[in-house]
Amino acid sequence: MIRDAPVGRTIGLVALVVVALLGTAYALGRSLVPDPPRSPSSATGQHQADQPRADDTPRPTPDGDRTSRPTETGQDGRAHPDGTPTPHPADGPFGTQTTSGTALVALTFDDGPDPRYTPQVLAILREHRVRATFCVVGENAQSHPDLVRAIVADGHTLCNHSWNHDVTLGQHSPADIRADLLRTSEAIRAAVPDAPIAYYRQPGGAWTGPVVSVARQLGMTPLHWTVDTSDWQMPGAGQIAATVATGVEPGSVVLLHDAGGDRQGTVDALHRILPDLTSRFEVEALPADPT
């Protein structure tokens, strides 16, 4: 029994060494196995902040403001105190103005003056206390200066509409365009020397970059429209009035004609148009100084 004691101790030491080696091997193997990936729901920190939100609530910007949502305003982002939208005026072809830029509705009359129809249009506007914008053809202004004076005397705004209603004018050279517009303005000013000519309207709405550029160089705002009544096609007073009644909204610029053909349908339509429009909108001439 005494000689067996060293053998027992040796066996015990061997057992301890084996256990130690097994423990070391387990620890080493565990360190080589990667951790299982975390689910997105358990992520934290920056990763969590980058996850899509459950709603579309705007996030605060660095300065503390929230990114803006669309508002009930006009195209230029402005709004009147009563909430009426203010459309952006320069959104037409080649940056032309299509609206009044305010809640006002503007009636415009092209191709005059005409000795048969312009006096009738002026009388109806006067009856309803409405001022409008007249786009005047140069050769007509030269032939009827008395009517140009009557337009200005009633407080209406003037618009240059080229010398002889040349639809292709915008395709001419800038020098020729300039000469045409200047000739027209000179004919208008021969009748009303001090009246501003604030706008230019291209015949047929056939805008080009050069004609817009020349008009602006001459201090005139290129004026398009929002509502085309197509009255030049003579659809009848009822159709003209219906087009205006259904198409007009705050800021609209309405295209009508007081010359260039048989415009009795337009004249008759005005008797229906004006009571309706003035009951729903403020109808006024475009400002003689658009700046």
Which residues does the annotation mark as catalytic?
110, 257
Token pair for 240: 């003209």
Token pair for 231: 């009255």
By the 8 A CB rule, do 220 and 73 touch? no
225-245 as b/e, with b when 16 or more CB fall inside 10 Å? bbbebebbebeebebbbbbbe
Q: In 3-state terms, what secondary structure has residue 136? A: strand
Widest CA span in the chain: 147
Q: Say how many C-beta atoms besides its own lie within 10 A of residue 18's C-beta.
A: 10
DSSP codes of every residue in 156-195: PEEEE--SS--TTGGGS-HHHHHHHHHHHHHHHHHHSTT-
Token pair for 56: 């579309």
The amino acid occupying position 221 is: T
Q: Counting every residue, how long is the chain?
A: 291
User: Distance between CA 170 and CA 210 in Å, rounded?
Assistant: 6
